[in-house]
Amino acid sequence: MKLRILNIINDEKFIDNVIECQDLFFMTSIHDYVIVGQEIKEFKYIKRLTSRIQFVKDRDFLSFIREMEYDAIFLHSYVVLKPELVLKIPKNIKVFWFAWGCDIYSLPLEPFIKIKLYGSETEKIVKKLSENASNITKLKSLIKRITGYKKIYDKLKSQIYYRSISRVDYFSGIIDIEYQLMTTIPNFRAKEVKYTYTSIVGMNTLPNGVRYNGNNVLIGNSAAISNNHLDILTYIKDVKLNDSIIYMPLSYAGPREYVDIVKKSYMDIFNDNFIPLDTFMDYQEYSKMISSCSVAIFFHERQQGLGNICLALRNGCKVFLSETSILYKYFKSHGINIFSLQSDFSQDEWNKPLTDEQIFENKQILYKLSCADTYIKNMNYIFDCVINNDHVKNMSIKNE
């Protein structure tokens, strides 16, 4: 008998690939995909498989899952379902939480994993943006503080999030260190699984000798303030670009005021050598842009932009990260040739490309972490968890 699994999702870039990859297991499992809450009339990021997605209202969710008799629910990020509903999921349904990053570092109002997200220059901008908030916003905030409403609301919302994670049976972070960090959270009792966001093409692309075909530069993965764009600028402002172009994705995730400050700061220094990417690019176009880059810089402190970083590494880019970040430690632990912006960056290092051997080593390691064999092994373990807890409780889920 096939397992029946409900995937709760949002309109995000990864979902087409999620559906295609999970369809590989059609002999053993049936996967449904729903967005819980308000119906979306036009998808922004899901392109190929919109017909596979249903919409369920909050008030209908519990009756829906009982009627469909699901064996398990996959939460693709913790923000896809209200925590009040998570708590009410019947005990006979296994709940899997596949964390994305925003749901553990930014939500709820009291983040599950507390990390200093901003560098010194970015903190100045955050403070400035806060001070420049509109008078109406300030007035509303003042009223809430005076009445105590905001304080009470924030506390209650944090409490329900923290309480609801007790209903999660299994957890996967994007990187393994995130599970260890979550185990320190009260009410967190989930066992560890490994869920990989990949694609059919990605998991079957063997390491090869292909490398970048230009000398351009990629900075950051989005307009999110946690990219610390202005702190990066303090390290690279005196670099000689010659004919290189700096590309910076700024099409989503950040406030307009912040984007304007970042764009002006970079344009004032690099002029026509700086090109902000204000509109969303499809994957093929984006990959082509990255293939023209020999250097990529990401200065997040939390796990963020992993897909972009891996894409840059597969294209042979020399990647600089913050040496205090979770991702820097993760890549170093796996033997990836990665560099510290704080300690390794210089004009000479900027101009010095990775060797063919270093590029191939990176590709081999990344392939092992996300290849078809690894993906299938991890998914089969997840299905075993759905079927029989006792059978899997002593099994190792570490990749060979």
pLDDT digits (tens, 9 = 90+) for 10-50: 999 889 999 999 999 999 999 999 999 988 888 988 889 98
For residue 203, the model assigns a pLDDT of 84
SS3 9: coil
Does the pLDDT value for residue 346 go beyond 60? yes
Spell out a b/e string for 307-316, using b for 16 or more CB atoms within 10 Å of the CB, else e: bbbbbbbbbb
Q: What percent of the chain has pLDDT over 90?
A: 66
Does the pLDDT value for residue 76 go beyond 80? yes
Phi, psi values for residue 384, rounded to 5°: -60, -40
Strand partners, 247: 218, 275
Cβ burial of 120 (10 Å; 0-12, 13-18, 19+) is exposed
Cβ-Cβ contacts under 8 Å for 369 (sequence gap 6 or more): 196, 334, 399
Cβ-Cβ contacts under 8 Å for 113 (sequence gap 6 or more): 104, 105, 178, 181, 182, 302
| Bigger pLDDT: 192 vs 46 | 192
Does the pLDDT value for residue 160 go beyond 50? yes
Give the residue carrying structure tokens 């704080």. 342
Does the pLDDT value for residue 139 go beyond 90? no
Q: pLDDT category, 279, cuts 50, 70, 90?
A: confident
Identify the top-confidence range among 88-97, 117-126, 385-394.
Answer: 88-97
Does the pLDDT value for residue 400 go beyond 50? no
For residue 390, the model assigns a pLDDT of 46
Q: CA-CA distances (angstroms) from residue 157 to 25, 64, 110, 328? A: 37, 25, 9, 32
Rg value, the chain, Cα? 22
**Average pLDDT along the chain:** 88
For residue 209, the model assigns a pLDDT of 67
| Residue 222, phi-psi category: left (phi > 0), alpha (psi -120 to 50), beta (remainder) | beta
Does the pLDDT value for residue 397 go beyond 70? no
Residue 314, amino acid: R
Does the pLDDT value for residue 142 go beyond 90? no
Cβ-Cβ contacts under 8 Å for 218 (sequence gap 6 or more): 247, 248, 249, 289, 290, 293, 295, 296, 297, 308, 312, 317
Structure tokens, 275? 């090109």
Closest CA to 15 of 50, 62, 66: 50
C-alpha–C-alpha distance, residues 77 and 327, integer Å: 19
For residue 309, the model assigns a pLDDT of 95
C-alpha–C-alpha distance, residues 195 and 197, integer Å: 7
* Segment 163-173 mean pLDDT: 96
Is residue 118 within 8 A of residue 226, CB to CB? The reply is yes
Phi, psi values for residue 170, rounded to 5°: -140, 145
Does the pLDDT value for residue 147 go beyond 50? no
C-alpha–C-alpha distance, residues 154 and 158, integer Å: 6
pTM exceeding 0.75: yes
Residues in the chain: 400
Does the pLDDT value for residue 268 go beyond 70? yes
